[in-house]
Amino acid sequence: MHLAVLLLVSALSGATLALDNGEMRVPPMGWLAWERFRCDIDCAHDPKNCISEDLFIDMADRLSEDGWRELGYVYVNIDDCWSSMKRDEKGRLQADPKRFPGGIHKLARYMHDRGLKLGLYGDLGTHTCGGYPGTTLDKIELDAQTLADWEVDMFKFDGCYSNATEQAKGYPLMSKALNATGRPIGYSCSWPAYQGGLPPKVNYTQLGEICNLWRNYGDIQDSWDSVLNIIDWFFENQEVLAPAAGPGKWNDPDMLIAGDFGLSMDQSRAQMALWAIMAAPLFMSNDLRTISSGARSILQNKMAISINQDAMGIQGRRIVKEKNGIDVSWRPLSNNASALVFFSRRNDMPYRYQTTLGKLNYTAGSYKIYDVFTEKTTTLKDTTGFVVSVNPTGVVMWHVSAPAKRNLRQFYKGGRLQGFAFGNDDENVVPHAFL
């Protein structure tokens, strides 16, 4: 008991070490251009897809008119290739005048008028990854001030064309410079992704103090291979990554790609479920003008979103990796609730996975189960055997609520703690076929 309290206190006090700009106490949600639209600047031949103010206005209209904003999707984020190839006469970044005739400030106003926020992209280095003007160390204060003048709400700072020494100076400097503008601007750092994402090259304590979120790993692409590769990296490194996350500071496994071309509905649900378990930022990169109703209902799933947005901000972990290809992950939530995801890496047929909540280290008691994607509910005792049918490359996701919770001590100790007793009152293990 004392141990549990102690660990809880240290987890909470860890949260106060986040970047002190009041931003992103829960993972940010919105839309980001990159994965779906890249650097398409060919407006003459592809006006609907090109990186221009029309694209961002269209997405803002969809977010505010199609029910996204009310669910929390409020950021509209511009990525690379927005700027002119030249800084202005005062040395400031400026938007491409043909594709953004209204300029960035006007676009920010457009977002604010609709209860949305605008995110912008920059790059620490001589050039952005796409070859546009970068932010060298001597330009950091000027560029931070430009963002504030334009009333930008979030800034993604990429790291192409800079080396490790410059990054170690530049990312903290930009954090200070943003703070000095007096405008709260959510700060996304690509720094760790350029340094392999792991200690000793990456210091997650420091990142949590200077950034609101950070890209740890490579860019997502529109394929299941890419999503699975990201899932594997994040869960394989969870002992390093999970403690780094908390209110105001998040690991970012990159954009949600449901609604694009590469994922089946099952794979889209798997991404949504695992991003919720990981307390990941939810930035969709898709075309909200033409998104299918199937993809929309996955991305608008209220329970998946509320799990992602849980106020405690504890990043969940994989707790079981079975030889049969089933992974189980778990995230503790406020009010003694929790979330479980049963994920299948198989590619043959739906797999009937059998277990009990007790085997997943839930304490003795009975639990209310809500299936996030089928919306069915049931009650389970910790000792009751049950079977979930998990589709190939799919998930079953549960919200599990009181009366009791999985032992937090085991979470922090990674299951190494001894002497944890299960309730033994009900040994009749007739599997309860579920769903």
**Least gap, CB of 189 to ligand NAG (angstroms):** 14
Q: Measuring CA to CA, which residue among 309, 370, 321 is closest to residue 72?
A: 309
Nearer to ligand NAG by Cβ, of 26 and 360: the residue is: 360
Q: Measuring CA to CA, which residue among 241, 415, 193 is closest to residue 321?
A: 415
Nearer to ligand NAG by Cβ, of 265 and 312: the residue is: 312
**Least gap, CB of 414 to ligand NAG (angstroms):** 8
Q: Output the CA–CA distances (angstroms, integers) from residue 309 to 87, 210, 222, 332, in the order listed.
A: 39, 21, 25, 12
Contact 60, 76 (CB under 8 A): yes
Nearer to ligand NAG by Cβ, of 121 and 411: the residue is: 411
> Bridge partners of 156?
121, 188
What CA dihedral angle connects 388, 389, 391 and 395, to 10 degrees?
-10
Contact 190, 215 (CB under 8 A): yes
**Least gap, CB of 11 to ligand NAG (angstroms):** 16
Distance, CA of 19 to CA of 212 (rounded, Å): 6
Distance, CA of 3 to CA of 10 (rounded, Å): 11
**Least gap, CB of 338 to ligand NAG (angstroms):** 11
Nearer to ligand NAG by Cβ, of 300 and 354: the residue is: 354
Nearer to ligand NAG by Cβ, of 263 and 340: the residue is: 340
**Residue 378, φ and ψ in degrees, nearest 5:** -160, 175
**Least gap, CB of 20 to ligand NAG (angstroms):** 3
Has 158 been annotated as catalytic? yes
Q: Which listed residue (79, 96, 143, 158) is catalytic?
A: 158
Q: Which listed residue (40, 54, 58, 219) is catalytic?
A: 219
**Least gap, CB of 60 to ligand NAG (angstroms):** 24
Interface with ligand NAG (CB under 6 A)? 20-22, 163, 165-166, 179, 182-184, 203, 205-206, 209, 319-320, 335-336, 360-361, 402, 404, 410, 415, 417, 420
Nearer to ligand NAG by Cβ, of 255 and 278: the residue is: 278
Instruction: List residues with catalytic annotation.
Output: 158, 219
